């Protein structure tokens, strides 16, 4: 671990855990943060249905500017999708997170979005990191699937160095030879990050596994391992989702999961 | 997943979870099995000290025929070490597990050992698998660090096919590009194995991480993810261990860990 | 392979190999293209010394906007470095390639640079891909170290789809568990790319290995495997380089290498 | 690299390259050794047809004791297959290599086989390594697909330490996230091995790629990179092979390949 360059993200000069505040939500406190919503925002009706149906969600998620491997995939509703998220977020008094993909959208994000997500593919897009570092918005920085934990922390350093201390890290699975799941959740990343950094860290079991069957097991493991939150894809109709089809939990599956998370959180002295 | 060839290890013809019995210990029951002991048996005094000091251990472990990457490393006390384990196991009425490395030792293992371990490097040593398959001894089959879960299940099939139904699987970390820990614990393996197989599965966080700092986080994660047990290296003097130096927990660290495992087990409806 | 979405990069509608022209240099023709120069442009003296010393280089390289894992590393001379490259390029009548890191520099690159490089960390920076796709400049697209070949081809599709057919692909090593070298050169990538795509492909053995000792072996292998070119780091004083210290070949080592490349190229019916 | 433990395999006490002799064939000399034959011996007719059809093969290969991932796959003709290989080998005055899987067959191998292969799955079967180390037979030691080069060299050390200096190493592809081919050929392994060890090293492009399409490119690359030989699967009827179906070259494809290998070998000062 290149501890020397973790000047702001490392423990050396910052022993206490950082708590990042997004409206009424605290990342890194005793209370575990549950982020839920569809992979991609598809319509107001879709987001509203999910928002009404789910219990225990503290932050909504939904992709609207979607970075996609193929240019022929569904690329998101862009600003329209963000307005949908914003409207429902305000109605339910629950903040939301959505991904940014280019610097020129930053002013729009500052004005409209509660938490700005940097996606896995942009973890080393240093110009974008510096740009969000010049705001005070909470930033959810996802680990690249081909990147080490050291690189994740050095990328957070780019944001902190520009003056924005509000960084939340996210483990979402890495690429390995094992192919039973889409990626391999690196559960060890949680305690490694906690050892070297004071920043809060959450886990995204949906992208890690790509299969609803594994979400419960991975979610409980993440909480027990010390994660400060979970980000879970939920869809009102997973089989017809426009993005990451069949990866999301149904609303009912999600609500059952929350009931199982609560006692595990309690067992390690936390709550949901 | 090559479900078709999982004729005996798969769920298709065997819906119920298998419970493997080793003396008074059940693998795969509601009660989580804690296996503890040194990487390598070094002396009777060492094993006795550990055995007296630890709480909550249901099965002792200790390497005596040690497969080592380099021929110039400490290779174990061989039969002498097994006699030490056997003596202390009988005194404390706690069964023990130790690794076999060649077929010619099998009769000796059948006579003296409670649970036979097949190490990660031998997971595809098919002749050895067939040989232990012709006994009725419980077999602890560790996943190779370069092997898929499908391959692990197909290796268990070799043992089952010869007539031995007493197979316990073990996830112990795989090789990836991440190098903060020795290996990357594949926490997803637990639910993947549970989905496709009825065999019990335990987790070895000591070999996965190679660093005592991470054992607690990985152990709690494994229990929450649904593992049926843990195998943890414990040493009375880790800094002077003859094998995997500084990887083991001290007796005190281990005992503190057990106190943390209990509530997590309870939270998911199990006990230790 | 997602052949369906390789609408423009794939072989299906474009059987012939594409030749990309950068000034007087052709990528994908019978003649193998040798790209050489320092990792980072440090001074006019440095670039001039290298340019004067090397034989057989068809394209100069040099980083000036440097994406670096840590924000505390040398980040390049930016526009000043590009002016140095441009000056020496014009003097020697040899085009040059340098990396772009943000869209706002694009106009400057269009005006000053011969070949625009998209670095490994930006391979899935889709906004940057689209931006260079709207120019007619040759683009050197490097494979991400955590990305599949399918993803590399789909990224090239982003550029082609915007109207720029001048894409050159580059294999530069991927992340694996093997750690004797910095990365593992995926030599198989060359024939896989040639099978599915008509685009030219070159190899960067310097970043793959991170050690001058291995450059000769990897370079000859790449040529024999069918690569259309090589990109090699050369430094007048490797031990004092400001970036990727000790990775570059000396001018003398490079010139010896070229003498070895020539007969291998000839053996497979090509030239340098 | 753990150079200290490479006491016999390393360069420190053994500067010169080792040449291993198997009957009339030299591994590690100026002449590149071509090993060819079917994945599995199926019948005398099959082996005879291949032996009669191929040009330039110096050593025959054929699996007869087959270690297979699934116990329900074709496991080989065992001793019958070896007798077929032996007969045809004697008729054509060409030695052959075949894989051993258990110590109890060793006397039979010593009596009947020219070169004993240790397969990838047995690279760390240390008891088997020690056993073949106590003979003087040439041993072809394949790298495990999940093993580092350091581990490969340390495994060769087990053989050398027992007194057998006749070890030939073989790179055959490693497991990575890239899935266009079955494995990823680690072309860099050749020069890494040559740097640290005096032992000859060959390459198996058939198992690395699992697809005849890529064999030519990988074979030429291996020769150019400095490999001392190639081991290629050839079948008289690949579509109906009992093992690794459709992976082998046809006799005709193989003969065309040899014509392309010759000039590349010559270009680097060697011959076939």
Residue B87 lies in a domain: yes
The string of DSSP letters for B87-128 reads HHHHHHT--EEEEE--GGGHHHHHHH-SEEEEPGGGTT-HHH
- Are B213 and A223 within 8 A, CB to CB? no
Q: What is the pLDDT of residue B244?
A: 83
> With an 8 Å Cβ cutoff, is B188 touching chain D?
no
Low-confidence ranges of chain C (pLDDT < 70): none
How far apart (Å, rounded) are the C-alpha atoms in residues B191 and B220? 15
Helices (H), chain B: 44-53, 79-92, 106-112, 126-133, 149-161, 188-196, 205-209, 215-225, 251-267
Q: Does C163 touch chain A (CB under 8 A)?
A: no
- Average model confidence (pLDDT) for chain A? 97
The answer to whether residue B82 is domain-embedded is yes
- Interface test with chain D among C172, C267, C268, by most D beta carbons within 10 Å: C267
Question: Is residue D227 less than 8 Å (CB to CB) from chain C?
Answer: no
CB contact, 8 Å: C175 with chain A? Answer: yes
Q: Check: CB of residue D62 under 8 Å from CB of residue D41.
A: yes
Which residue of B144, B207, B217 to mutate against A (max A Cβ within 10 Å)?
Answer: B217
How far are the Cα atoms of A27, A184, A252, A255, C145 from residue A37, in angstroms, in the given order? 18, 22, 13, 12, 31
Contacts across the C-D interface (CB distance below 8 Å): 136
- The b-or-e profile of D34-53 (16+ CB within 10 A means b, else e) is bbbbbbbbbeeebbbbbbee
Q: How high is the pLDDT of residue A243?
A: 84
- Record the pTM: 0.97
CB-nearest to D146 from B69, B71, B145 is B145
Give the residue from C98, C99, C161 showing the smallest Cα distance to C133: C161
DSSP string, chain C: --GGG-TTTBSTT--SPP-EEETTEEETSSBPEEEEE-SB---HHHHHHHHHH-SS-SEEE-BSS---SSTTS----THHHHHHHHHHHHHHT--EEEEE--GGGHHHHHHH-SEEEEPGGGTT-HHHHHHHHTS-S-EEEEPPTT--HHHHHHHHHHHHHTT---EEEEE--B--S--SSSSB-BTHHHHHHHHHB-S-EEE-HHHHH-SGGGHHHHHHHHHHHT-SEEEEEB-SSGGG-SSSTTTSBPHHHHHHHHHHHHHHHHHTT-B-
Q: Which chain A residues are Cβ-neighbours of C179 within 8 angstroms?
A: none
* CATH code, domain carrying B160: 3.20.20.70
pLDDT per residue over A188-232, tens digit each? 999 999 999 999 999 999 999 999 999 999 999 999 999 999 999
DSSP assignment of D60-129 equals EE-BSS---SSTTS----THHHHHHHHHHHHHHT--EEEEE--GGGHHHHHHH-SEEEEPGGGTT-HHHH
Q: Which residues in chain D show pLDDT less than 50?
A: none
Tens-place pLDDT, residues B191-212: 999 999 999 999 999 999 999 9
Q: Report helix, strand or coil for A57.
A: coil
Is there a domain that residue A13 lies in? no
C272 falls within a domain: no
Query: Does D52 map to a domain?
Result: yes
Distance CA C172, CA C185 (A): 6
Q: Do B101 and D5 touch (CB under 8 A)?
A: no
pLDDT tens digits for A109-157?
999 999 999 999 999 999 999 999 999 999 999 999 999 999 999 999 9
Q: Does A121 touch chain C (CB under 8 A)?
A: yes
Model confidence over C260-271: pLDDT tens digits? 999 999 999 999
Decide if pLDDT at A246 tops 90.
Answer: no
CB pairs A-B closer than 8 Å: 135
Residues of C in contact with D208 (CB under 8 A): 188
Q: Which of A146, A176, A216 sits opposite B174 (nearest CB)?
A: A176
pLDDT of residue B192: 98
pLDDT in tens, D98-136: 999 999 999 999 999 999 999 999 999 999 999 999 999
pLDDT, one tens digit per residue, over A39-82 is: 999 999 999 999 999 999 999 999 999 999 999 999 999 999 99
**Domain membership flag for residue D61:** yes
User: What ipTM was reported for this prediction?
Assistant: 0.97
Q: Which domain range does residue A101 map to?
A: 20-66+74-266
**Is the CB of B175 inside 8 Å of chain C's CB atoms?**
yes
Question: What's B168's DSSP letter?
Answer: E
In a domain, C3, yes or no: no
Residue pair C205/C215 in contact (Cβ under 8 Å)? The answer is yes
- Position A97 scores a pLDDT of 98
- Which pLDDT does position A122 carry in this prediction? 97
Q: Does A52 touch chain D (CB under 8 A)?
A: no
pLDDT in tens, B240-251: 988 888 899 999
Nearest to C101 among A5, A122, A126 (CB): A126
Chains contacting C with at least 3 CB pairs below 8 Å?
A: A, B, D
Place of tokens 């011996």: D41
CB contact under 8 A, C176 and D187: no
Whole-angstrom distance, CA of residue C233 vs CA of residue C37: 5
Tell whether A85 is covered by a domain.
yes
Which residue of chain A has the CA closest to D182?
Answer: A177
Domain count of the fold of chain C: 1
């Amino acid at each position: 671990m290149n501890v020397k360059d973790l000047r702001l993200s490392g423990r050396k000069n910052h022993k206490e855990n950082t708590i990042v505040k997004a409206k009424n939500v605290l990342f890194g406190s005793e209370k575990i943060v549950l982020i839920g919503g569809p992979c991609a925002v598809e319509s107001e009706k879709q987001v509203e249905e999910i928002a009404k149906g789910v219990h225990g969600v503290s932050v909504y998620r939904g992709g609207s500017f979607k970075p996609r491997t193929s240019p022929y995939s569904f690329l998101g509703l862009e600003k329209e999708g963000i307005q949908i998220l914003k409207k429902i977020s305000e109605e339910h008094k629950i903040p939301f997170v959505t991904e940014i993909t280019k610097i020129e959208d930053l002013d729009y994000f500052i004005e409209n979005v509660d938490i700005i997500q940097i996606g896995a593919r942009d973890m080393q897009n240093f110009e974008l990191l510096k740009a969000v570092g010049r705001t005070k918005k909470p930033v959810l920085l996802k680990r690249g699937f081909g990147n080490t934990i050291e690189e994740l922390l050095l990328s957070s350093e780019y944001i902190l160095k520009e003056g924005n201390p509000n960084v939340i890290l996210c483990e979402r699975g890495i690429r390995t030879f094992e192919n039973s799941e889409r990626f391999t959740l690196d559960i060890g990343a949680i305690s490694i990050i906690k050892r070297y950094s004071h920043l809060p860290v959450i886990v995204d079991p949906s992208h890690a596994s790509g299969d609803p069957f594994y979400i419960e097991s991975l979610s409980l493991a993440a909480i027990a391992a010390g994660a400060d939150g979970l980000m879970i894809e939920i869809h009102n109709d997973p089989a017809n989702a426009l993005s990451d089809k069949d990866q999301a939990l149904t609303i009912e599956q999600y609500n059952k999961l929350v009931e199982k998370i609560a006692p595990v959180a309690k067992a390690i002295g936390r709550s949901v």
